A and B are shown apart, each in its own frame.
Chain A
Amino acid sequence: MRFSLREQTWNISILGLVVGLTLWRGNQLPVFGSYEIKTILLGIIPIALLAMGQSLIVIGGGINLAIGAEAILINCITARFSDGTNFLTSVKWALIGILIATLIGALTGWVISKSGIADIVVTLATSFVLIGLALFVQPGPGGGVNLDFAQTFSGKGDSFIAPLLVLFLPIFLIWLPLQRSRLGISFYAIGSSKDAAFLSGVNVARTRILLYAFGGVFAGICGVSLTAITQAASPFAVISNTATLNSVAAAVLGGVALSGGVGGLFGPALASLVLYYIPTIMLGYGIDPAYSQIIQGALTILVVLVGGLLRARGKR
């Protein structure tokens, strides 16, 4: 699998930005060791997983504004039913949670395909339904999870190996094989040109359902990771909204074109680090975190703007 030069350049620039910000953040901290790396990783895992799910859907020509709500719902389900259980029951509920998210994704994709209504409308409405369900399952903050299970995710002591695996395993186990498969190419195809994809023999409706289902897988893993890291459920609409917006921002920053058909999942995973650093570094300087939201939003707009200008120049 070869990448286009432009995609590479973009990833390298983001990597440069990440390295720069890491050094900056490292400079703020008195010590920068294994524990600090672990903290950073635990901070970005939910953002990165959600960003990957969103990126996949955007590559396929859609957008899922309910992806944050999907994650929150799974967080609530797993935290409620795993509370005080043994390791195996927690694993069982984690798998059930991921399955539920997958099915919700598939259902969303089915509704979009059959109704012909814009993705943005269907998923915005879905997000309200899902948050309502989350509150139904877990009316307030609470719940928990088996401690061994939590440590499998977040690692014991200062070791950052476990969270690193949690971050990269989905890329290696889901994305890399998918990208090489005909299904993965079909995702790019329907995002690039639905008509040409149809003429090339792609079943557009079925592919779109699978697209949203795969997005759901990532949202489900994100929900489980929230449960494992926080060892609690947080059924708040604000969190889900911010998470959704962050996922779109990371996708855009990570080189995924909002028009579909272009990009990958490595870029967005890296970009989520940028989104994590902005508020943390500002907090390190004692600046009101509200400013970081402004910067984050402005940065996203800037990237979209620069991308648009570059494309316009390419056409001239």
Chain B
Amino acid sequence: MKNLLEIRELAKNYGSVVALKSANFSVSPGEIHALMGANGAGKSTLVKILTGVIQSNSGSIKVNNFLVNFSSPDNARKNGVAPVFQDPALIPDLSLRRNLKLTNTDISKFEEKMIEFGLQVSLEEQVSRIELPMLRMIDLARALAHDPKLLILDEITAALPANLAEIVIEVMNKEKQKGNSVIFISHRLSEIGEICDRVTVLRDGVDVDTFETKDGDENRIVSAMLGSKITQNLSGNRVSTKADEPIMQLRSIKDDNQLRDVSFRINKGEVLGVVALEGQGQDSLFEILAGERRIASGEMLFNGSRVHFSHPSDAIELGITYVPGDRKSALLPQRSIRENLALTKFPKIRNWGWINQKTEDSMVDKAVKNLEIDTRASSQVKRLSGGNQQKVTIGRWITTGFDLLLCFDPTRGIDVGTKNQIYTLLTGLSAEGKSVVLFTSELREIELVCDRVIVLYGGKIVVEYDATLCTEELLLNAAHGRI
């Protein structure tokens, strides 16, 4: 069959850093094609080239057998390629209507798509006031309104509530029936086999495997992604280290937003899981624990004594550290890995106002080695892949030392290999007697790394389970308020 999209030996480098070595890839009409790869494999680069965000150094792209050169996102869209990114490309200060006008989108078609999705939104609403999951659906409806031949969905289902993820999958199947194609990028392996026809796996900037999903399974994807590296299976190896001594206790916490009567404890040396659907108050809860948000009533005890946080530095001083969901907000994107790692340590390595270079060097080197951070692009953290950025955000706190680590969805949009490294890191920390609170949108992680788990629903804790004894089904039900 004639290919809709055909890519030959596509390459891209930034100075001496090779992002894409030689990628070959094709999509037939009416096909859902998964594009897989560990972080730094060149997946994002390939998507950026296909959507006209950046231009390749060499290689060719053919659409319907015609050579094309996507010079801008607008140009790619005119060629029938429409992307939906993990971070929706909508202008925050403009109303939805004006955003649609900006992209020359047919408003009635857009509304039609939203009705098909069963979603309602006011066109006059300012984009900055719309929640992220809704924005992704809006972005998808906008892309569909342009009648694309090829839809590129980059991590769209990550952190999307189940009901919306289902709509996305329906959309993909509908497009397929119409004879249009979809390139689907997801870290949720279980989705791939169910939805996609073919899979292409990238590793180190080269396509290493392409196969029909009926001929292979998740293991084939994982082994292609990891190459020689072996997948670690953590479950079963974990030894529970929890002592029954609380490091932190929350009593009847209420905030002026969503939380109502939240009480729980975090024990020394345990990993406490937090499970919730989008927008159930978990953001507020983590911000309260990290000292970013104030409570309206209730009390917090740390090591048995009452504490009151008016600023994140109060929490940090007690040894509570927060790794937020948005990696960009935690890092200094333009500075080096070294500086980012040492940043939180500055108060301790300062010597009469000067930073001791030797102390800094040895600490940073240790962290880089322990975390296996890929330092090829060490001069600017913003050039690192998502997984490596996440390692830097966690690593900086490890160089500082802490007693309680708050992790908000640390493995979101990260490849399997790096995920496993982060799991090992977290369980290792708890074995050392540190406590971890982990919010995750991947239920599988609860069983893998947690000792106990609490489920938030509508701003309240609905249930607490022993993590080793509960099933994903049980958790999912609780997260929907069904106990």
Contacts and interface: CB of A to CB of B under 8 A. Distances in A.
Interface of A: 2, 4, 182, 185-186, 188-189, 191-193, 195-203, 261-262, 316
B466 interface: no
B227 to A, nearest CB: 32
Interface residues of B, number: 23
Contact of B103 (A191, A200, A262, A316): A200
A186 B91 CA distance: 10
Interface string B88-100: 0111111100110
A290 B124 CA distance: 45
B101 A185 contact: yes
A185 B94 contact: yes
A189 B73 contact: no
A192 B94 contact: yes
Contacts of B98: 185, 188
A196 B73 contact: no
B327 interface: no
A202 B95 CA distance: 17
A198 B73 contact: yes
A-B interface, 7 closest residue pairs, ranked by CB to CB distance from nearest = A201-B74, A199-B89, A261-B93, A192-B93, A189-B91, A192-B91, A185-B102
Q: Which residue, B91, B102, B293, has most C-beta atoms of chain A within 10 A?
A: B91
7 contacts: A188-B93, A191-B93, A192-B93, A192-B94, A193-B93, A199-B89, A201-B77
Contact of B91 (A4, A182, A197): A197
A191 B92 CA distance: 10
A166 to B, nearest CB: 30
B64 interface: no
A262 B94 CA distance: 8
Contacts of B53: 198-199
B104 interface: yes
B85 interface: yes
Contacts of A196: 89-92
A4 B128 CA distance: 13
Nearest to B94: A188
A182 B104 contact: yes
A193 B92 CA distance: 7
Given A2-B124, A198-B73, A201-B73, A189 B94 contact: yes
Nearest to A257: B93
Given A2-B124, A196-B91, A203 B72 contact: yes
A189 B103 CA distance: 11
Contacts of A192: 91-94
A249 B1 CA distance: 64
Contacts of B74: 201-203
Contacts of A4: 95, 126
Contacts of A193: 91-93
Given A185-B94, A200-B90, 5 more contacts: A188-B91, A189-B102, A196-B89, A201-B102, A203-B72
A56 B85 CA distance: 30
Q: Which residue, B51, B89, B90, B94, has most C-beta atoms of chain A within 10 A?
A: B94
Contacts of B104: 182, 201
Contacts of B95: 2, 4
A186 B102 contact: yes
Contacts of A316: 293
A240 to B, nearest CB: 31
